[in-house]
A and B are shown apart, each in its own frame.
Chain A
Amino acid sequence: MTAVMGTPMLRKEDGKLLTGEGKFVDDIHVPGELWMGMVRSPHAKATITSIDASGALAMPGVQAVHTGPDLADMGLWIAPLPCAWPVTPDMLNPPHFPVASGEVHHVGEIVAVVLADSRYGAADAIDEVVVHYDSLPAAASVAEARDGDVLAHSDLDTNKAYHWPLVPDPDALDAAFAGADVVVAADFVQQRLIPTAMEPRGVLAVPSPHGGDITLYSATQVPHILKVMAAATTGIPENQIRIIAPAVGGGFGAKLNINPDEILALTLANKLGRAVRWTESRSEAAGSTHQGRGQLQHIELAADSNGKLQGVRVHVDADMGAYMMLITPGVPLLGSFLYTGVYDVPAFGFTCDGYFTNMTPTDAYRGAGRPEASYAIERAMDLLALEVGVGPDEIRRRNYINGGEAFENHEAASTLVFDSGHYGPSLDRALEMADYEGLRAEQSRRREAGDKVQLGIGMCTYVEICGLAPSRALGGLGYGAGGWEHATVRMLPTGKVEVVSGSTPHGQGHETAWSQIIADKMGVSPHDVTVLHSDTAMSPLGLDTYGSRSLAVGGVAIAMAADKVVEKARLIAAHQFEAAPEDVQFENGSFSVAGSPSSSVHIQELGFAAFAAHDLPDGIEPNLQEQVSFDPPNFAFPFGTHVAVVEVDEDTGGVKLTGYFAVDDCGNQVNPLIVEGQVHGGIVQGAAQALFEEAAYDDEGNITNPSLMDYLVPSTMEMPSMKLDSTTTPSTTNPLGVKGVGEAGTIGSAAAVINAVCDALSPHGISDLEMPASPQRVWNAINRASGNGEGGAS
């Protein structure tokens, strides 16, 4: 059999999804189910003075209305919703229950739950629950929270939740800045984003008709984590909870949480003995699902007169939102180690203050901390290039780790060890694909001609940390769980292979990729492989999918388990051949004795021998099944260079992304087709942050664009076709040499796009522009630079 790994095999997942047979949570129904409807706070901060549910309760089909105090009295939970990442021992973490009591802290916080016997009935009942509030001043931005005049939580005496420093050598850092020829300082705003997986979240909790256990279907990325946390929150014994993530329509981090609705459905269904369901509406999601980003960044670069970096100093004020959710406080930490980017930086320091605000909680969103870091360093490098008077490509080349040549195990000033990298070729190739010289010539032509549509070219060389990952490292950062992943591989009696993975896909194509790994390792057809996942009864051990970890941790575990199955099968084959195991070779799925290749047995034939167990070697257990929990020794560090080309209409301020060129390196690839798809989607999410998307809150903490009418997820018309290539620098962290690629596109693209916009505007003396670079913002910047004032608030 020829190699399957590394080939663009078409996806096994596609059939069901293309024909409408894929079952998402809202597609699954059980008899007697009740629909939950959430009564949500319209205030960012307020005291609940009364709740009158009588109108709702009088409606036909309405079974119950519960408030926060009711549910607490009913004993439906034993602990608040969990935060798994207390980043410091003294971090503030006000209790966050599924339904508020007393004071509400963001628009969309649940104040009462209705249960009705139909979808529309629940929606109607919500409107008939009358809640009175005394509204209170809200901390409606992180800057306001930092000022501290308005408290997000009345019972805290500060908005500052924590201070987290990463300054490995303060003296070296001070010396670097004291001795610098050039210091560049910049402030950037990472606006809040609404993740917007196309499938809204949803839940369905189904108690067993026989009692004793309960199944929760949830549109989640993390069924295994949810199972542990649901038990800890509700008090339902963990061994009585089964979580199923059926087809899940995208996640991007937004389905990586323990949400009020999940806990409510589970605990209410358990109490009532009836199935309980809820499906989020899109407009509701702005208050019911966590948001991403939300940081104010200050970065300083110290360099010599040639632009060679001597030190990087960063401070971040991070917007936690109203509560600490699963990993809210840890998101900035995930980025902290990357503020030196792909560069050789002798001295580094990072500090972060986390602040509570009266807005929807923030948490992981595609890249989680790393796009923010990459943006800051890659924007700042362009500013340094301007300061030093060299091109953006040259400033990068002067600073790449190991001069842009290949390296392994580089210890960065942040203390992390980068597994492998080779940055120079990715820049060379990206510039070649983009025809960089040609673009610069066209840019000059337009500038000289005074063309009203100017050209901008931006680049970004990123590195990211993925494959989350070493349990010890996560423990050292205060994270509450490990980072291993589990796999079981079994050869069935008929020669088919079942792979059980704790990694939980929601569009990534795991069934295909894992089948390819098995095909290569075991010499079977990928179509003989079935992948079982996303159901804690089928796959009891796992840590799920986030942080571009599925392949670098979960896929490696599968490969290792497959190797163990082959080794066991080798013993059985040797027994059949009456040969020593070390004389038995394995190739393309067949065992044979060295020197006599005519007699051979295929591993798929040994499945039955191991099952029947009539004639196994002494001491060998029946069945061909092995399992591995893989805990990698280090993270993996994918990288790449992206080049964005924009046209800026100076009359309207409109920015059009006209070209995008990306060279990504995720180590060895299992399926290049899937890699490309991940990069495409990632690029667009980052470009969308650069140009279109922002969760906009007014001064009172109301979100002003919760629907897809106003929140500008890009369509086909905003994006160009992209040109991709890759280089291959295997990881040294795992035996497959693989990294991860799910977030890479997003980590590279926002900086590349804004660098391009600023490049287009540079003749005006404009060197920075806040995201999203909306037409109004661009137009105002041009007019401000020309001394014409502004047309309105940006």
Chain B
Amino acid sequence: MKLTLTVNGTTHTSEVEPRTLLVHHLRDNLGLTGTNIGCDTSSCGACTVHFEGQSVKSCTMLAVQADGGEITTIEGLADQAQQAGISTGDQDWHPMQEAFHQCHGLQCGYCTPGMVMAATSLLEENPDADEGGVREGLEGNLCRCTGYHNIVKAVLQAKGGA
């Protein structure tokens, strides 16, 4: 099937099998390998991207379901922030990426892109989230390294700095 997606501001038209998962299309066809796959049951959230401004697990959508839509992946998050007038600092990072760095909110880094995408979406939906709200908002994203302590701290710091 023919499919058109705007990913990180660039429009791609591709031919895909109807069954292609969005995450496989992003990774294997468009080469955007920052979005990771950690499970096969929509449980871990490593594949979280923004579709039409909302976080979705891209393993749980068919690519064709996203036809005509706009997607932001971890690779495009900082650019998107910049366009929205948010300072991305010397490193050209979204404030959430900076907060994860400052708070040691990542170790192996595999869950990190999904975690950052979920966290930015969480704060957009709930800008006043307290620790409980952050924990609730990230429930669908699993991390095996950090015990979540520093991830929660990072999201709260990003909220404070926003």
**Binary per-residue interface labels of chain A (689-716) against chain B in the complex, 1 for a CB within 8 Å, 0 otherwise:** 0000000000000000001110001011
A50, CB-defined interface residue at 8 Å: no
* Cβ–Cβ < 8 Å partners of B40 in chain A: 281-283, 707
> Contact between B44 and A680 (Cβ–Cβ < 8 Å)?
no
* Chain B residue with the shortest CB-CB distance to A711: B43
Query: Contacts A13-B109, A27-B33, A716-B135: A681 and B43 contacting too (C-beta < 8 A)?
Result: no
* Chain B residue with the shortest CB-CB distance to A28: B33
* Cβ–Cβ < 8 Å partners of B91 in chain A: 15
Question: Please, how many angstroms separate the alpha-carbon atoms of A423 and B46 in the complex?
Answer: 40
> Contact between B43 and A19 (Cβ–Cβ < 8 Å)?
no
Question: Please, how many angstroms separate the alpha-carbon atoms of A16 and B107 in the complex?
Answer: 12
Query: Contacts A17-B112, A120-B19: A10 and B148 contacting too (C-beta < 8 A)?
Result: no
> Contact between A677 and B100 (Cβ–Cβ < 8 Å)?
no
> Contact between B144 and A722 (Cβ–Cβ < 8 Å)?
no
A114, CB-defined interface residue at 8 Å: no
Q: What is the minimal beta-carbon distance from A440 to any residue of chain B, in angstroms?
A: 26
Question: Please, how many angstroms separate the alpha-carbon atoms of A793 and B62 in the complex?
Answer: 40
> Contact between A14 and B39 (Cβ–Cβ < 8 Å)?
no
Query: Contacts A680-B146, A680-B149: A18 and B97 contacting too (C-beta < 8 A)?
Result: yes
Stretch of B24-32, B50-58, B63-71 lying at the A interface: B24-32
* Cβ–Cβ < 8 Å partners of B145 in chain A: 198, 250, 507, 677, 681
Q: What is the minimal beta-carbon distance from A258 to any residue of chain B, in angstroms?
A: 21
> Contact between B146 and A681 (Cβ–Cβ < 8 Å)?
yes
> Contact between A708 and B28 (Cβ–Cβ < 8 Å)?
no
A248, CB-defined interface residue at 8 Å: yes
> Contact between B147 and A200 (Cβ–Cβ < 8 Å)?
no
* Chain B residue with the shortest CB-CB distance to A219: B110
Q: What is the minimal beta-carbon distance from A50 to any residue of chain B, in angstroms?
A: 29
> Contact between A119 and B24 (Cβ–Cβ < 8 Å)?
yes
Near B by CB (< 8 A), chain A positions 185-202 give 196-200
* Cβ–Cβ < 8 Å partners of B27 in chain A: 26-27
Query: Contacts A20-B34, A20-B35: A719 and B109 contacting too (C-beta < 8 A)?
Result: no
A509, CB-defined interface residue at 8 Å: yes
Q: What is the minimal beta-carbon distance from B158 to any residue of chain A, in angstroms?
A: 12
> Contact between B43 and A709 (Cβ–Cβ < 8 Å)?
yes
Query: Contacts A247-B109, A506-B108, A507-B109: A24 and B36 contacting too (C-beta < 8 A)?
Result: yes
* Cβ–Cβ < 8 Å partners of B19 in chain A: 120
> Contact between A198 and B143 (Cβ–Cβ < 8 Å)?
yes
* Chain A residue with the shortest CB-CB distance to B93: A18
**Binary per-residue interface labels of chain B (128-149) against chain A in the complex, 1 for a CB within 8 Å, 0 otherwise:** 0001001110111111111111
> Contact between B107 and A509 (Cβ–Cβ < 8 Å)?
yes
Question: Please, how many angstroms separate the alpha-carbon atoms of A683 and B134 in the complex?
Answer: 20
* Cβ–Cβ < 8 Å partners of B146 in chain A: 677, 680-681
> Contact between B100 and A18 (Cβ–Cβ < 8 Å)?
yes
Q: What is the minimal beta-carbon distance from A8 to any residue of chain B, in angstroms?
A: 8
* Cβ–Cβ < 8 Å partners of B131 in chain A: 721
> Contact between B101 and A18 (Cβ–Cβ < 8 Å)?
yes
Partner of A707, one of B39, B109, B134: B39
A177, CB-defined interface residue at 8 Å: no
**Binary per-residue interface labels of chain B (93-121) against chain A in the complex, 1 for a CB within 8 Å, 0 otherwise:** 10001001110101111111100100000
Question: Please, how many angstroms separate the alpha-carbon atoms of A681 and B145 in the complex?
Answer: 5
> Contact between B97 and A19 (Cβ–Cβ < 8 Å)?
yes
* Cβ–Cβ < 8 Å partners of A196 in chain B: 144
B83, CB-defined interface residue at 8 Å: no
Partner of B142, one of A677, A708, A745: A708
* Cβ–Cβ < 8 Å partners of A682 in chain B: 147
B37, CB-defined interface residue at 8 Å: yes
Partner of B110, one of A198, A676, A721, A722: A198
Q: What is the minimal beta-carbon distance from B140 to any residue of chain A, in angstroms?
A: 8
A673, CB-defined interface residue at 8 Å: yes
* Cβ–Cβ < 8 Å partners of A29 in chain B: 28
Residue from A16, A281, A680, A715 whose CB has the most chain B CB atoms within 10 Å = A715
B73, CB-defined interface residue at 8 Å: yes
> Contact between A677 and B150 (Cβ–Cβ < 8 Å)?
yes
Query: Contacts A18-B109, A252-B144: A708 and B149 contacting too (C-beta < 8 A)?
Result: no
> Contact between B100 and A707 (Cβ–Cβ < 8 Å)?
no
* Cβ–Cβ < 8 Å partners of A16 in chain B: 109
B125, CB-defined interface residue at 8 Å: no
> Contact between A20 and B74 (Cβ–Cβ < 8 Å)?
yes
> Contact between B109 and A722 (Cβ–Cβ < 8 Å)?
no
Question: Please, how many angstroms separate the alpha-carbon atoms of A19 and B148 in the complex?
Answer: 19
> Contact between B144 and A198 (Cβ–Cβ < 8 Å)?
yes
B38, CB-defined interface residue at 8 Å: yes
Q: What is the minimal beta-carbon distance from A614 to any residue of chain B, in angstroms?
A: 40
Question: Please, how many angstroms separate the alpha-carbon atoms of A199 and B32 in the complex?
Answer: 17
> Contact between A10 and B150 (Cβ–Cβ < 8 Å)?
no
Partner of B107, one of A27, A119, A250, A708: A250
> Contact between B39 and A282 (Cβ–Cβ < 8 Å)?
yes
Question: Please, how many angstroms separate the alpha-carbon atoms of A198 and B141 in the complex?
Answer: 11
> Contact between A683 and B110 (Cβ–Cβ < 8 Å)?
no
Question: Please, how many angstroms separate the alpha-carbon atoms of A20 and B115 in the complex?
Answer: 12
> Contact between A199 and B116 (Cβ–Cβ < 8 Å)?
no
Question: Please, how many angstroms separate the alpha-carbon atoms of A673 and B78 in the complex?
Answer: 25
Q: What is the minimal beta-carbon distance from B7 to any residue of chain A, in angstroms?
A: 12
Question: Please, how many angstroms separate the alpha-carbon atoms of A11 and B131 in the complex?
Answer: 24
Partner of B17, one of A120, A248, A680, A681: A120
* Chain B residue with the shortest CB-CB distance to A719: B148
> Contact between A19 and B78 (Cβ–Cβ < 8 Å)?
yes
Q: What is the minimal beta-carbon distance from A245 to any residue of chain B, in angstroms?
A: 12
B41, CB-defined interface residue at 8 Å: yes
> Contact between B152 and A721 (Cβ–Cβ < 8 Å)?
yes
Q: What is the minimal beta-carbon distance from B31 to any residue of chain A, in angstroms?
A: 9
* Chain B residue with the shortest CB-CB distance to A196: B144
Q: What is the minimal beta-carbon distance from B88 to any residue of chain A, in angstroms?
A: 11
* Chain A residue with the shortest CB-CB distance to B38: A198
> Contact between A198 and B93 (Cβ–Cβ < 8 Å)?
no
B75, CB-defined interface residue at 8 Å: yes
A47, CB-defined interface residue at 8 Å: no
> Contact between A674 and B104 (Cβ–Cβ < 8 Å)?
yes
Q: What is the minimal beta-carbon distance from B136 to any residue of chain A, in angstroms?
A: 7
Q: What is the minimal beta-carbon distance from A710 to any residue of chain B, in angstroms?
A: 9
Near A by CB (< 8 A), chain B positions 1-35 give 17, 19-20, 24, 27-28, 32-35
Question: Please, how many angstroms separate the alpha-carbon atoms of A252 and B142 in the complex?
Answer: 15
> Contact between A681 and B101 (Cβ–Cβ < 8 Å)?
no
Question: Please, how many angstroms separate the alpha-carbon atoms of A24 and B78 in the complex?
Answer: 21
Residue from A10, A17, A23, A708 whose CB has the most chain B CB atoms within 10 Å = A17
Residue from B17, B36, B44, B148 whose CB has the most chain A CB atoms within 10 Å = B148
* Cβ–Cβ < 8 Å partners of B108 in chain A: 17, 197-199, 247-250, 506-507
Near B by CB (< 8 A), chain A positions 101-154 give 119-120
Question: Please, how many angstroms separate the alpha-carbon atoms of A719 and B145 in the complex?
Answer: 13
> Contact between A119 and B101 (Cβ–Cβ < 8 Å)?
no
A508, CB-defined interface residue at 8 Å: yes
> Contact between B106 and A17 (Cβ–Cβ < 8 Å)?
yes
* Cβ–Cβ < 8 Å partners of B104 in chain A: 10-11, 673-674, 676-677
A684, CB-defined interface residue at 8 Å: yes
* Cβ–Cβ < 8 Å partners of A282 in chain B: 38-41, 44
Closest 10 CB pairs of A and B: A20-B34, A17-B109, A249-B110, A507-B108, A684-B147, A27-B33, A708-B43, A680-B147, A507-B107, A20-B74
Q: A19-B74, A21-B34 given. 19 additional CB < 8 A pairs?
A: A10-B104, A17-B112, A18-B109, A20-B32, A26-B27, A119-B24, A120-B17, A198-B46, A198-B110, A200-B38, A281-B40, A282-B38, A673-B104, A680-B146, A680-B149, A681-B145, A715-B139, A719-B148, A721-B131
30 contacts between A and B (CB under 8 A): A15-B101, A17-B106, A18-B93, A18-B113, A19-B74, A21-B75, A29-B28, A120-B17, A120-B24, A198-B36, A198-B110, A199-B38, A200-B37, A247-B108, A249-B36, A249-B38, A250-B145, A281-B40, A282-B41, A283-B41, A507-B107, A508-B107, A677-B107, A677-B145, A677-B146, A707-B43, A708-B39, A716-B138, A716-B148, A722-B147
